Amino acid sequence: MPIERIALISDVHGNLTALEAVLADIAARGIDRILNLGDYVGKGPRGSEVTDRCREVCEVNIRGNWDDFLPGIPDDAAPEMVWWRDELRPDQHEWLRMLPLSHDLLMSGRRIRLFHASAASVHTRVHFHHTPEEFAGMFAATDLTGPGPEPTIVGYGDIHDVYVEVYGGRTLFNVGSVGNPLDEPVPSYVILEGVPDAPDPGPFGLQVVRVPYDVDAEVAVAHRLRMPQADVWEVELRTAVYRGRQKPGMLAT
């Protein structure tokens, strides 16, 4: 069988400008299979459009933590949460709630498992600086993943921070974020390359790709729509500094 490439994206968070730039790069490379690891909504201004676009172009869509909790937040939640919730249509609320939590595939004899945050829960976060127990837990069969065979490769999103770690014959990697990168302010995605559905060992590759985009245009949309927390969103997009760590006047320095 011929070698094939699959693109993995994650954490678009309503940033349609970044998503379109990444999709254009994927198409320019001749890749037509896209798997999405979740968090379509929240934080950015166009979660509804991002949801529709990903539903259109992605072969697989996985539920993220924002997709899990945002549709059900109450009316008395923080104003920005209500704004992001109400920016979505009712049918999108239902679609997000029904998304699967994990996806398995076979490529060049390697069992690959994909989910948003961890094998324990869509709300359990595993950072780059993790314990050996947390590493092992990412490969475990759980209620979230189902009872399938243990993977040799696990990919996830959630932390907005790209890394690849190989230990004990197993590979753990994070695809980073399309719409809200927090390692450097440039969207990322991952390309897997190998022989699809092949049980026997074969050539295999994992590539991280960075795609610049028009940050000014995306920031302008957030302000035009009067999105709550547009200022802290702008700082995150321009500096990759998480809003909880921002200091006043960061963009002026």
Confidence band of 250 (pLDDT split at 50, 70, 90): low
* C-alpha–C-alpha distance, residues 94 and 113, integer Å: 25
pLDDT at 253 > cutoff 60: no
- pLDDT (0 to 100) of residue 249: 65
pLDDT digits (tens, 9 = 90+) for 182-227: 999 999 999 999 999 999 999 999 999 999 999 999 999 999 999 9
- pLDDT (0 to 100) of residue 39: 98
pLDDT at 159 > cutoff 70: yes
> Bridge partners of 170?
167
- pLDDT (0 to 100) of residue 243: 85
Mean pLDDT of the chain: 96
Indicate the pTM of the whole model: 0.95
Domains of the chain in start order, with CATH, are 4-252 (3.60.21.10)
Please state, for a pLDDT cut of 90, what percent of the chain lies above it. Answer: 93
- pLDDT (0 to 100) of residue 251: 67
- Spatial contact of 227 and 83, defined as CB atoms under 8 Å apart: yes
Confidence band of 124 (pLDDT split at 50, 70, 90): very high
Interval 158-183 mean pLDDT: 97
- pLDDT (0 to 100) of residue 84: 98
pLDDT at 240 > cutoff 80: yes
Interval 129-144 mean pLDDT: 97
226-249 burial: b if 16+ Cβ within 10 Å, else e: ebbbbebbbbbbebbeeeeeeeee
- pLDDT (0 to 100) of residue 237: 97
Worst-scoring range by mean pLDDT, 37-46, 140-149, 159-168, 188-197?
140-149
Please state, for a pLDDT cut of 70, what percent of the chain lies above it. Answer: 98
pLDDT at 248 > cutoff 90: no
Q: What is the 3-state secondary structure (H, E, C) of the chain?
A: CCCEEEEEECCCCCCHHHHHHHHHHHHHCCCCCEEECCCCCCCCCCHHHHHHHHHHHCCEECCCHHHHHHHHCCCCCCHHHHHHHHCCCHHHHHHHHCCCCEEEEEECCEEEEEECCCCCCCCCCCCCCCCHHHHHHCCCCCCCCCCCCCCCEEEECCCCCCEEEEECCEEEEECCCCCCCCCCCCCEEEEEEECECCCCCCCCEEEEEECCCCHHHHHHHHHHCCCCCHHHHHHHHHHCCCHHHCCCCHHHC
| Number of residues that this document lists for the chain | 253
- pLDDT (0 to 100) of residue 148: 79
pLDDT digits (tens, 9 = 90+) for 51-85: 999 999 999 999 999 999 999 999 999 999 999 99
